[in-house]
Amino acid sequence: MKALVVMPEHGELPKGAYQTAVVPPSAVVTAKQTVTYGLGAQNTVTLSSRSGDGWLLSLQRDIVTLDGKRLERQEIPLPPLSKPEIALAAAGALLVVGCPPDKLYEAMLPLT
């Protein structure tokens, strides 16, 4: 089973089953865990607020990292983002592959 698929721009998904898929909510994918991202409140990874200092990512549901750690619902500070939806895809992928939530701000700085 493949470990991860990330689709920042929705298109045709590769066929197959995935352990975890980080996808926009409109994507159709077969996965043990699906982590959706976007600006709507129904997504697993979304933004809850914006300020001059940056954004707050809202993890709306618990997710399990590829190494089996459970991340509980929480808000995580992010730097100011120029392309929020692409940054949310990257943030979701980083969290799934094991980036600790308290290190996500620094990991996202290249996307600002």
Q: Is residue 97 over pLDDT 70?
A: yes
User: Which candidate, 109, 99, 89, places its Cα nearest to that of 39?
Assistant: 89
Q: Is residue 17 over pLDDT 90?
A: no
State the chain's mean pLDDT as an integer.
Answer: 87
Q: Is residue 1 over pLDDT 60?
A: no
Q: Is residue 75 over pLDDT 90?
A: yes
Task: Supply the pTM of this predicted model.
Answer: 0.87
Q: Is residue 13 over pLDDT 80?
A: no
Length of the chain in terms of residues written: 112
